């Protein structure tokens, strides 16, 4: 690798690690709430089969478009200030030719298919309402579906009343009644879980602002009605310790995985609130002497490891730590000076070969640096440590 290329790689590395970090998902997640699902039509998750006609999103800031269309934009009064229209619209009235599978289709699910995944807690029958804007006789029909199926009960949602205004409809067009009767568009949600509410073209030029699904047969939406029913994520529990451990094979926790070796010298105690082993340095006999804890290697842990000892720095002393394998010292470390109590310090030992039955011993010392007055002397650091992290090599 020449120097230029090497520099380039280094820069790439830096950019990768300092760039903005986002964990959010792309689409809004809708869910049912108390028997209602409210969706802004413009918040669809996906659109398919859109080579001839496509739902386009309109709002106040949308520039004028370049497609056939018989009416102006209608973002005034639209819920969320935004809606979708199916364009181009080449048949706005009876005088313009019907071209099947182009400006009209009775085959639900074949053109301009929108998907809205929704989590339903309550399965069962839902009445589907659409808030739409119609200015002609051939821009007021749309199909509704669920999970890629287009049941007869949800085809041909039709809007007759309320021309030139945003209007709610849940009427199904029938041969005997082109305007349909209210509350006749329904879907059946088979079980609790995520189901995809779908919309597809019947007539081009259709304008859709909002969808409302309700289990209440008598519910009559008005104006912009309820706000979208969105899933709001709660915060996840954050990591509270071992912050710099970015990968590991196994974490041996000082308190949970080590036995406190009874060597006849001085013991560790469990400092539970700090999740650490510690030496009770109040007892003068426990000062400046090593306490020990041991772990016996299991057969499934045979192999070569990098070991990382995680200690806690203390303001009143810089404790010494040793790690030994079968009584042979393989590492010795001293905590750095710190201005902040209990911050984690990481000490590494590479190339440690472990076999079943090996004894890993961690030892530490309670010491004072003479800086923090306490009673008639100075305070002692307690040789605290939190974990020994095993990271398998190769």
| Residue 85 Cβ vs Ca ion, minimum distance, rounded to whole Å | 5
69 contributes a contact to Ca ion by CB under 5 A? yes
| Residue 2 Cβ vs Ca ion, minimum distance, rounded to whole Å | 56
301 contributes a contact to Ca ion by CB under 5 A? no
Residue 44 structure tokens: 């669809």
Residue of the chain from 40, 301, 314, 316 that contacts Ca ion (CB under 5 A):
40
79 contributes a contact to Ca ion by CB under 5 A? yes
β partners of residue 157 = 142, 172
88 contributes a contact to Ca ion by CB under 5 A? no
Residue of the chain from 31, 68, 80, 115 that contacts Ca ion (CB under 5 A):
80
Please report, for residues 145, 243, 275, 282, 335, the alpha-carbon distance to residue 339 in angstroms, rounded to integers and kept in the order given.
Answer: 63, 18, 20, 22, 12
**CA triplet 330, 336, 342: central angle to 5 degrees?**
100
Beta-carbon contacts of 169 under 8 Å, excluding residues fewer than 6 positions away, are 129, 130, 132, 157, 158, 159, 160, 161, 162, 182
β partners of residue 333 = 321
30 contributes a contact to Ca ion by CB under 5 A? no
| Residue 225 Cβ vs Ca ion, minimum distance, rounded to whole Å | 11
Residue of the chain from 143, 167, 197, 209 that contacts Ca ion (CB under 5 A):
209
Nearest residue to Ca ion by CB is 205
Question: Residue 211's closest CA among 125, 153, 143?
Answer: 143
Residue 213 structure tokens: 């699904």
- Measured from the CB atom, the residue of 89 and 314 that comes closer to Ca ion is 89
Residue of the chain from 54, 195, 203, 325 that contacts Ca ion (CB under 5 A):
203
Quick one: which segment of 14-22, 87-95, 257-265, 335-343 binds Ca ion (CB under 5 A)?
87-95
| Residue 184 Cβ vs Ca ion, minimum distance, rounded to whole Å | 22
316 contributes a contact to Ca ion by CB under 5 A? no
116 contributes a contact to Ca ion by CB under 5 A? no
DSSP 25-71: -SS--EE-BTTEEEEEGGG-SEEES-SS-EEEEEETTPPP--S--SS
- Measured from the CB atom, the residue of 86 and 255 that comes closer to Ca ion is 86
Residue of the chain from 139, 301, 314, 316 that contacts Ca ion (CB under 5 A):
139
Question: Taking the CA of residue 311 as centre, how many other CA atoms within 13 Å lie in the half-sphere pointing to its CB?
Answer: 31
Other CB atoms within a 10 A radius of the CB of residue 90 amount to 20
The answer to whether 191 touches 142, Cβ cutoff 8 Å, is no
* Residues that bind Ca ion in the complex, under the rule CB under 5 A: 40, 69, 71, 79-80, 82-83, 89, 91, 138-139, 203-205, 207, 209-210
């Amino acid at each position: 690798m020449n120097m230029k290329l090497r520099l380039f790689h280094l820069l790439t590395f830096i950019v990768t690690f300092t760039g903005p970090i986002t964990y959010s998902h792309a689409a809004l997640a809708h869910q049912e709430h108390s028997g209602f699902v409210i969706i802004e039509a413009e918040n669809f998750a996906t659109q398919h089969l859109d080579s001839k006609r496509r739902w386009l999103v309109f709002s106040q800031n949308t520039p004028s478009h370049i497609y056939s269309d018989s009416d102006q934009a209608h973002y005034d009064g639209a819920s969320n200030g935004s809606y979708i229209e199916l364009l181009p619209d080449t048949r706005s009235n009876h005088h313009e030719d019907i071209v099947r599978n182009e400006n009209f289709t009775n085959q639900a699910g074949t053109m301009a298919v929108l998907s809205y995944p929704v989590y339903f807690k309550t399965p069962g029958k839902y009445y589907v309402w659409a808030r739409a804007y119609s200015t002609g006789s051939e821009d007021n029909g749309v199909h509704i579906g669920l999970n890629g199926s287009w049941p007869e009960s949800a085809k041909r949602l039709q809007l007759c009343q309320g021309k030139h205004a945003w209007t709610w409809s849940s009427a199904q067009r029938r041969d005997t009644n082109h305007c349909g009767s209210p509350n006749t568009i329904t879907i059946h949600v088979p079980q609790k879980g995520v189901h995809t509410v779908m919309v597809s073209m019947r007539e081009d030029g259709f304008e859709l602002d909002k969808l409302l699904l309700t289990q209440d047969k008598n519910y009559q939406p008005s104006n912009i009605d309820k706000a979208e029913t969105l899933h709001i994520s709660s915060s996840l529990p954050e990591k509270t310790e071992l912050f710099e451990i970015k990968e590991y094979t196994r974490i041996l926790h000082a308190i949970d995985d080590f036995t406190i070796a009874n060597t006849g010298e001085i013991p560790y105690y469990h400092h539970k609130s700090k999740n650490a082993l510690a030496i009770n340095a109040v007892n003068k006999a426990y000062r400046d002497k090593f306490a020990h804890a041991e772990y016996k290697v299991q057969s499934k842990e045979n192999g070569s490891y990098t070991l990382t000892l995680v200690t806690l720095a203390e303001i009143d002393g810089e404790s010494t730590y040793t790690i030994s394998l079968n009584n042979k010292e393989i590492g010795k470390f001293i905590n750095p000076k710190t201005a902040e109590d209990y911050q984690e310090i990481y000490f590494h030992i590479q190339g440690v070969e472990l076999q079943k039955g090996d004894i890993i011993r961690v030892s530490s010392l309670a010491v004072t640096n003479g800086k923090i007055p306490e009673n008639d002397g100075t305070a002692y650091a307690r040789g605290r440590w939190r974990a020994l992290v095993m990271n398998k090599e190769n």
